[in-house]
Chain A
C-alpha cells in the first residue's frame, strides 16, 4: 500500500488545500504543529489518558447474537462507539484536536455542526480545557436539534445559527471557514470530519483510527481472526475511516461505506455523494461532490442530519477509486426500519446515522455464511433522534 496522503495532502488525485490565501499559513502552522506533536510521547499520553478516563475507551466490541440470529447469515458484531462520552465517536477527534489547540497556545476554538454531535463534543472538550468555544450550526438544524443546541449552551459554548444558503451543515461549514478567515490569528478550528483542506482529513483520521485499532485487537481476542467485512455509515466519513483504516492493508476484509439515499437515489432528495456525485473541489479539497452540470453544489437530503452533506472525505474517494472500499446507498425508510429492529432485538437505540450502517448490515449478513464475521461501527446512540423519530411515527413513517 502507498502511504497516503503525500506531503501535499493528496490521496491519489483527491485532497489538497483549496482555500483562500488568508488561511494558507494557518493550515501550514497546523500541519507543522501536528507533525511535531503526533509522535510526541507527552501529547500522546494526554490524549490516551482522556480517551480512557474521560470518554471511557476502549469501547466494547459486542456480539449481537439476537440480531445475528434474526437476520440469519454472518455473525454480527457491533463496535460500540455509542458508549463514548457525549454519545458518539466524535469525541475521539475533539479530544485530540483540543489537546493540540492547547499546545499551540490557542485560547479560542470554533466548530461546525450538523446534527449537533460534533458541536456538543467540541463544546465538551472546550469546557474541559477552559477554551472559549463558538459553534456554527445551520438554522434549519438548530430547529431540528434543539436539545443539542441547549446542551452546547449548557456547556458554555455560543451557538451561532447560520442563515446563508441551505441553512444546514454545508453552510455551517462555509460560515465557520469564513469566521476563521477573519479570526485566524487567535482561533483554532476544530473540524469535525475527514473533510476540508489538508491536514484535516489526515489528522481527523489519525484521531479516529483508535476505533479500528481497538476493533482489530478485540476481534482477534474474541475470534482469533480478522473479520470478513466491516460496515460503517459515511457522511463526511470520519467514523468509517476510523474503523476502516487499520484494515486497509488486509485485503480479505471487505470495507463497506453506507451513504444516505434519502428518499431514493433516483429522486433529488438524497445525500449519496459516491453513487450520484462526481469529482470536484468543495470546501477545501478535491473529492466526490453532489453538483449540477455547471459545478454548483447541490443541497443534500437525509433523515439523518449527520449524513446530510453533499461532499465526502478525500480518502474515501481514493479508497473507492482504487477499489479498496465499496460505497452503497441506504434510504431513510430502510434506516428507520433497521433502527426499530436493533432497538427491539438488542435493546440498543442507534443514532439515525448508525442505523444506515445497520440497515446495510442486514442486507450483507444475509449473503454471508454463519461462520463469517461482520462488524458494524455503531457510531452513535439514538437519544438525540428520539424527537424526530416520534414525528415520523406520528406521520406514519414507521409502525411501532
Chain B
C-alpha cells in the first residue's frame, strides 16, 4: 500500500474548503453533448456557478454504471464520434479560457486501455488533470493503472458502495484524492431517497479514509446536497445536470449567440442552485 503525497490541485481545494468549513460541489458533464465547444463553455459556466472541481465524462458505448440520462447523453456524443482524446482536450481548452478548478476525468476502462495506459496518463498530465475515476476498475484490477497514476501525479479516485462492507477499509485506506461514496444501490440517476444506512455507511468510510470523502449517484437538489453536507467533504451531481443540459439542448445548439448564451446561463443557474448553503 502506498499513498500519494505529491501536491495535487484536488488536495489544495479540499484543504481550503476545510479551512472555510465548506462542502465541495463537484458537477459532472458528459463531454461532446452536444459538441466539444459547448462542453468547454459548460465547464466555464460550471466554474462561474461556484463549482469547486469538475468531472469530465467520456461517452462510452456500454456505460454499465450509468442510468438512462447519462446513457442518452453518451449516445448523443457518440453520434459525433467524440473520442477519449477529444474529451481530454476539453480540459486544456477550458484552462486556456481561464478556468482554474481541478479537472477529474470519468471514463470506463476500455477506451483508456485502447489508448494505452502509459499514453493515457501522460495525456492526463499534459492536459492538466488532477484525478481520474474509472467505474469498472475495482481494486483487484487496478495495479497497473494505480502505479502509472502515481507516477503521473494523478489521483486514481476509488468508488465505495453501500454493499462494499468489509472492502470499505481496504479501499479507503489506499484511496488517493478522495473516496467516491456511492449513495445507493443502482446506477447513476436522479432518485428521491438514498440507501437507508447511508449515515452509518459514510461514518464507516470516514473512519477508514485518510483523504476527503464525497458522495454521488442520485443527488439532484440543493436539499439533498445540504442533507449530506455535514457528513462528507463534497457532493457530486451528474444526471441532474446532464438532464438539464438535455432540456436546453435546442438553445445550446442554436446558431444565434444570444440563444446559446441563454442556454449556458440556464445550466449555470441550475448548478449554482445546487450549492449547499448551510455551512457543513
Contacts and interface: CB of A to CB of B under 8 A. Distances in A.
B262 interface: no
A25 B109 contact: no
Contacts of A296: 60-61, 78, 111
Interface in B36-82: 60-65, 67-68, 71, 75, 78
A18 B114 contact: no
A295 B85 CA distance: 12
Contacts of A24: 138, 140, 161, 163-164, 167
Given A21-B159, A178-B67, A16 B135 contact: no
B113 interface: yes
B45 to A, nearest CB: 27
B15 interface: no
A252 interface: no
Contact of B161 (A17, A21, A183, A295): A21
A20 B136 contact: yes
Given A25-B165, A282-B62, A295-B114, A185 B159 contact: no
A182 B114 contact: no
Chain B: number of interface residues, binned into ranges: 35 or more
Interface in A161-220: 164-165, 170-171, 174, 177-178, 181-185
Chain A: number of interface residues, binned into ranges: 35 or more
Interface in B134-174: 135-138, 140-141, 158-165, 167, 171
Contacts of B164: 21-22, 24-25
B187 A178 contact: yes
Interface stretch (A114-122, A286-294, A384-392): A286-294
Given A174-B64, A283-B62, A182 B137 contact: no
A143 to B, nearest CB: 20
B84 interface: yes
A189 to B, nearest CB: 13
A298 B78 CA distance: 12
A280 B115 CA distance: 11
Contact of B135 (A20, A170, A174, A291): A20
B111 A295 contact: yes
A280 B187 CA distance: 23
Contacts of B135: 20-21
Nearest to B135: A20
Q: Looking at A16, A18, A26, A177, which has the most chain B CB atoms within 10 Å of its CB?
A: A18
B141 A18 contact: yes
Q: Looking at B62, B68, B114, B115, which has the most chain A CB atoms within 10 Å of its CB?
A: B62
B186 A289 contact: no
Interface in A271-293: 280-284, 289, 291, 293
B182 interface: yes
Interface in B64-121: 64-65, 67-68, 71, 75, 78, 83-85, 109-115
A183 B163 CA distance: 11
Nearest to B112: A295
Contacts of B185: 22, 181-185
A369 interface: no
A8 interface: yes
A165 B137 CA distance: 22
A297 interface: yes
Given A164-B71, A283-B62, A17 B141 contact: yes
Given A16-B141, A165-B61, A283-B64, A22 B115 contact: no
Contacts of B160: 21
A16 B144 CA distance: 14
Nearest to A26: B163
A280 B60 CA distance: 14
B4 to A, nearest CB: 20
A368 interface: no
A25 B167 contact: yes
Interface string B248-268: 000000000000000000000
A171 B60 CA distance: 13
A18 B163 contact: no
Interface in A103-151: none
Nearest to B185: A182
The 4 A-B pairs at the shortest CB distance, nearest first, are namely A295-B114, A182-B186, A22-B161, A295-B111
22 contacts: A16-B140, A16-B141, A17-B140, A18-B109, A20-B159, A21-B135, A21-B138, A21-B171, A21-B182, A24-B164, A25-B165, A164-B71, A165-B75, A178-B67, A178-B187, A185-B185, A280-B114, A281-B109, A283-B64, A294-B111, A295-B113, A296-B61
Interface of A: 8, 16-26, 164-165, 170-171, 174, 177-178, 181-185, 280-284, 289, 291, 293-298
Given A21-B163, A294-B85, A297-B62, 4 more contacts: A165-B75, A182-B187, A184-B163, A280-B113
